[in-house]
Chain A
Amino acid sequence: MATFCSTAFAPLGAIVAEALGQPDLPISALKHPLAGLTPEDIRERVRPVIDDAIGMLTLSKEERIKRYSGRRWVEALQAVSIEAKVGEEEEEEK
């Protein structure tokens, strides 16, 4: 089982998959946005994920999870700091 969506919504897909009992659902994402594209644009967007599709169908379960688990989209966003870069009280003036 595998899922394709646009990059902007891949983390949401992973969260929902986990809520539905599929925490390691493979997710491959096409570059967002898809709205308003020409058929040729769509073909260009799809090409990079063809390899993902082949990998999802042919790799071992362990390798498939490691490479394509939707978790990676959530983890990537959660790793981004949401703190101010400067201005903490203890920071010394440079």
Chain B
Amino acid sequence: MADVKLTSREWKVVESKVAELPVDEEGRPILELEPPIDDIYKFFYTNRRTDGLPVVPPTKERVLKMMKYIDREPDEILGYFPPRNSVVTPEKIAINAVMAGCIPGHFPVVMHAVMGLIHKAYNQLATTLNIEGIITTTHPVHPLTIVNGPVIQELTFNGGVNCFGPGWRTNATVGRAISLCMLNLGGGMAGIVDHATHGSPTKYSFVVAENEEESPWDPLHVRRGYDREDSTVTLMGLEGPHNVQDHRSETGEDLLLSYAKTVCVAGMNPSTLASERWGNILIVVSPEYAKIIHRDGYDIDDIRMFIWEYGRQDQQFFEQIGYELPRGGLMPEWPKWVWNRFDGEVPPTAKPEYIEVIVAGGPGRHGLVMPSFGWTHDLTVPLTLADGTPIRSVMDFRKARKARNLE
């Protein structure tokens, strides 16, 4: 980037002559002059490359700084991002990370989250579901990225007070980078490809760390077979958070009953679209609740079973609104597992283990429930070097990069 600034009027001349700009070896235009920041914002916005908010210009220098935190070639093909099926490379993800406002150290987390979104394991359930379904559905769903492991402290991810809210650069920009990849690589332009009836504020950014320090249970990634020293991202296609306020209960049982009755409402996708294979719900337990629930002897599986047993709805209601006996097809027929197994009651998910639990949040007696899209399942991706070695620090990527002579 040359140290030259243009006025708005001068920049408009350049903008109108993009076709005359010099090109790189692949024919992409090279812009060596920096136009006014408001014109850059407008240029990206009107070309439908942003979420509507200003972006950091993805200059070559900024993108190269991102690449220093990954031990891969910039043009390595990582996969294809549905529904547009764009080729996904580290460089393309890095461009979106720069635009979102990430620092270079954030980049490995963004890249592994995107690798998870496009991983076949996340999309194997059906050809048109999961990330493709999440981007295109009328349902207000977005992939929540749950961060576990040492990168939480290292990069200052927030899993404490106001962890789903604003004020933390790492949560905000990492989540936004993932969202921008869904837009610019997946093609999720609002109203054209993204057909959410209302959408959700989570579509701007949806990242949280587990509050591992204040959890009385093993953190999510350890329960899924990883070492505590590993860092992971877990992806779940969820609605935005719904609060569970309970300032009165004194026992774990009563607190869990509040969660169960909040899960037990009409209109949640996991009840109506779930099957034996997918459809989960996330339960977020605040540290104060976790202390009581743990004190009273509940482990994670106990919490799942409790909510699954007590979070049920009357089957008659669903029949009243038009759900019919299964005829072997999709909606509005009820999943067969409901009719085959339960007598007059509909559980919140097909199986208790489809209810996942994390500890997050700060002081206060509030919890959260987040139903999923229904036609989706979750996936945990470990942060690893290109050869599959788990990292202990994002600085491991720098060392491996030097070892591979990628500098």
Which A residues fall within an 8 A CB radius of B?
8-9, 11-12, 15-16, 18-20, 74, 77-78, 82-83, 89-90
Contact = CB atoms under 8 A, between A and B. Distances in A.
B365 interface: no
B193 A12 contact: yes
Interface of B: 8, 38, 42, 45-46, 48, 82-85, 136, 187, 191-193, 195
Contacts of A90: 8
Contacts of B191: 11, 77
Main secondary structure of the interface of A (DSSP, over half): helix
A74 B192 contact: yes
Contacts of B84: 15, 18-19
Contacts of B192: 11-12, 15, 74, 77-78
Contacts, number: 36
A5 to B, nearest CB: 11
Contacts of A16: 83
A12 B42 CA distance: 25
A19 B45 CA distance: 23
A93 B316 CA distance: 62
Given A15-B83, A15-B187, 7 more contacts: A12-B195, A19-B85, A19-B187, A78-B48, A82-B48, A83-B46, A90-B8
B195 A9 contact: yes
21 contacts: A8-B195, A9-B195, A12-B136, A12-B192, A15-B83, A15-B84, A15-B187, A15-B192, A15-B193, A16-B83, A18-B84, A19-B187, A20-B85, A77-B192, A78-B48, A82-B45, A82-B48, A83-B42, A83-B45, A89-B38, A90-B8
Contacts of A19: 82-85, 187
Contacts of A82: 45-46, 48
A23 B46 CA distance: 23
- Looking at A11, A15, A74, the one whose CB has the most chain B CB atoms below 10 A away is A15
A9 B197 CA distance: 12
A18 B8 CA distance: 36
A83 to B, nearest CB: 6
A12 B45 CA distance: 20
- Looking at B191, B192, B195, the one whose CB has the most chain A CB atoms below 10 A away is B192
A38 B45 CA distance: 42
Contacts of A77: 191-192
Contacts of A9: 195
Top 6 A-B pairs ranked by shortest CB distance?
A19-B85, A11-B192, A16-B83, A77-B192, A19-B84, A15-B193
- Looking at A9, A82, A90, the one whose CB has the most chain B CB atoms below 10 A away is A82
A78 B49 CA distance: 12
Contacts of A8: 195
A7 to B, nearest CB: 12
A18 B86 CA distance: 11
B85 A11 contact: no
A11 to B, nearest CB: 5
B311 to A, nearest CB: 28
A77 B42 CA distance: 18
B42 to A, nearest CB: 8
Nearest to A73: B192
Contacts of A11: 191-193
A58 B85 CA distance: 32
Contacts of B83: 12, 15-16, 19
B198 to A, nearest CB: 14
A10 B306 CA distance: 44
A11 B85 CA distance: 16
A20 B187 CA distance: 13
